[in-house]
Structure 1
């Protein structure tokens, strides 16, 4: 059985300043900070950190330290695995042989990470999650499962979920699909973090979007006519897409709070009830945690707090969708999904769109760490219909100004 890869502790990663390309060389990973685009004269490289390709706005608010982080890269995954994922999720027979070998492996990864109890786990995710996602192997599942069971409590009854076929003896020889790879990777993060005492009381929520173009000839995500979207999610960071027709928000995540329907069913079935309402009327699991799914917070794992992601997928006709948005709860706790997508509409570029979202949340009094990421799709700049939340936003702005004046008096 293969031994799990040993990695430095999260605290050591928080102190590192190496670039992702250096990590790539050290590990032999194939992920990049650019996306390849096919032209009549060959491939060109478009940097993901261009404000016209992926827009990011990030601020610590009134907090003394930053616990929000994010990451994006282009992964190189097995085309047969991607083919299996597309077939299982959408019933589509995608043929990777119709595009070049390099482009058939190309998947763009975008993640937002919201730390709590410190920044160690969210910084670890920023530096490592994309690399782990690319390098995770089915052969590590049996040993990883043994470690998961050793957490005790809730996980003594854990049967593996989508990992179950690789736990049997002999294990399955099937390829991983993207849901299984995401689940394996999120659990692997907790295993890696378990060597650092910091991770007992420090954690992070995470939402990851994977964009895989199905076009032939190959096209990048921002112009793809047929795009497979996979979202792996733990906690209350959020992912949504904005439609061209009417500019409506389509959520790809649900907050994993203890009183949410999916989570309350899961936890009551396995753990009974440990839901406590605090003095502000907020429900907290074990009287301490807002989120019942997260990475890190290892001392709570045996009580049902899981890193197992909820995975949702959607096959996009690219020209019907304007952009994808990822936000931390420093924004989603202030703004509705509809307000978030309306703020991004008609922006000249994704960076400006992300900044508009962030700035407005802070104008309304947001004090938390906050992150907004805007990823353009083929319908960028083509939204039809009125801005539905414009009047509401103006009213909220006036109210916020009045409240601020009263506070200063």
Structure 2
């Protein structure tokens, strides 16, 4: 039986890496076996995607369940969280199953964002540690900024013969670099076109196996380039916890990285926005190949967190068409009491546009075990009502 992803992918380009094992459903243990729950159900993952007032769409997304080596997942849990997870207690195929959710915001065109939507999850699943020396060599040949690059998370595998398993940080870094290498040989548009990317990997640690939306113990790992956002919302007072930080030239992390390696090429444009090389607002992205030797990098910032699933209501991904209008807490509060994740995502995008957002806007809401159980008052309700009234008043003045 064939399965269709919510946004169709072209698996032909993955054949060189081996047979793809990703699916558009999540396996759920049931008495006597397992059942398949489609990820495209609005009760499983909610998505809202709008062009705004733009004549083109450069926001794209994809999600799938991947099949990863349990030994690799086990290593990462031990290394970063001191958690002893036994995949044999879960059993195949559940011990290999992780949820992949990716949000891609293109700039300078949609080519790179569309490529990521089609290919990134397959490349992530099929990445092999034996590819690291060759990919590293390609990165070094970029020159400029990368002359000083020592390998980062890939360093242990630069020498051939290292049998140690990768962790998710190394896998994400390898995959993001491999995207740029692929683009450099197949798509000239990627010289001047790029995309930000936020990728979230959710792994249930429960035995017997449970899916991400009901897991008691859950590990979330985020690989991130640019200014798309990943947030997790707690049930206690609806508090929001950001898993990402904007990669802008004047940001704390990026300012330190770029000044250390490249000096200063930060230019403020006529709108008062800081741009690297006078052109790019984001200092980490995929594509934008002509800027890579000048400090723009596709190396993701990777963060990971262990969750007690019942203490968290949802994971939310948004593009900057939303986050430039709404605060993190406003975004989280808009999901309160939504009947399903789809409605929650629609609320976020609709309200951001109601307040004047005209950019491409995307929201993805992934329910966790605490979905629908948020406690305490809506922290931003009065603020949102005030902003809504202001927006209506401003719109009336424009019409007068």
Q: Do both share a fold (TM > 0.5)? A: yes
**SS in structure 1 opposite 2:100?**
strand
CA distance in 1, matches of 2:7, 2:299: 29
2:90 is aligned with 1:99: yes
Aligned to 1:5: none
Aligned length, in residue pairs: 392
Aligned to 2:209: 218
Q: Is the 8 A contact 1:294 1:306 kept in 2?
A: yes
Aligned to 1:52: 43
**SS in structure 2 opposite 1:61?**
coil
Aligned to 2:168: 178
CA distance in 1, matches of 2:372, 2:9: 31
- Please list, as runs of the form range in 1=range in 2, the aligned pairs for 1:330-409 lying within 5 A after superposition: 330-409=321-400
Shift of 1:85: 0.8
Shift of 1:100: 2.0
2:261 is aligned with 1:274: no
CA distance in 2, matches of 1:120, 1:306: 18
CA distance in 2, matches of 1:171, 1:280: 52
The one-character-per-residue Cα deviations of 1:200-247 (angstroms, maximum 9, x if unpaired) are: 000000000000000001000000000010000000000000001000
Shift of 1:182: 0.4
Alpha-carbon distance change, 21 to 301 in structure 1, aligned in 2, over 3 angstroms: closer
- Please list, as runs of the form range in 1=range in 2, the aligned pairs for 1:235-274 lying within 5 A after superposition: 235-274=226-265
Q: Is the 8 A contact 2:65 2:97 kept in 1?
A: yes
Moved more, 137-146 or 22-31: 22-31
Q: Is the 8 A contact 1:24 1:30 kept in 2?
A: no
Shift of 1:28: 1.6
TM-score where L is the length of structure 1: 0.94
Q: Is the 8 A contact 2:11 2:119 kept in 1?
A: no
RMSD of equivalent CA atoms: 1.4
Aligned to 1:109: 100
- Please list, as runs of the form range in 1=range in 2, the aligned pairs for 1:108-257 lying within 5 A after superposition: 108-168=99-159, 170-195=160-185, 196-257=187-248
Aligned to 2:3: none
Aligned to 1:320: 311
CA distance in 2, matches of 1:25, 1:303: 30
Alpha-carbon distance change, 22 to 179 in structure 1, aligned in 2, over 3 angstroms: closer
Aligned to 2:281: 290
Please list every run of 5 or more consecutive structure 1 residues that lacks an aligned counterpart in the other structure: 1-16
CA distance in 2, matches of 1:332, 1:179: 25
Q: Is the 8 A contact 2:321 2:357 kept in 1?
A: yes
Q: Is the 8 A contact 2:7 2:117 kept in 1?
A: no
Q: Is the 8 A contact 2:11 2:20 kept in 1?
A: no
Q: Is the 8 A contact 1:70 1:111 kept in 2?
A: yes
Q: Is the 8 A contact 1:21 1:32 kept in 2?
A: no
CA distance in 1, matches of 2:161, 2:262: 29
Shift of 1:171: 4.5
The one-character-per-residue Cα deviations of 1:37-89 (angstroms, maximum 9, x if unpaired) are: 00113100000000000000000111111000000000000000000011111
Shift of 1:20: 3.7
CA distance in 2, matches of 1:219, 1:24: 32
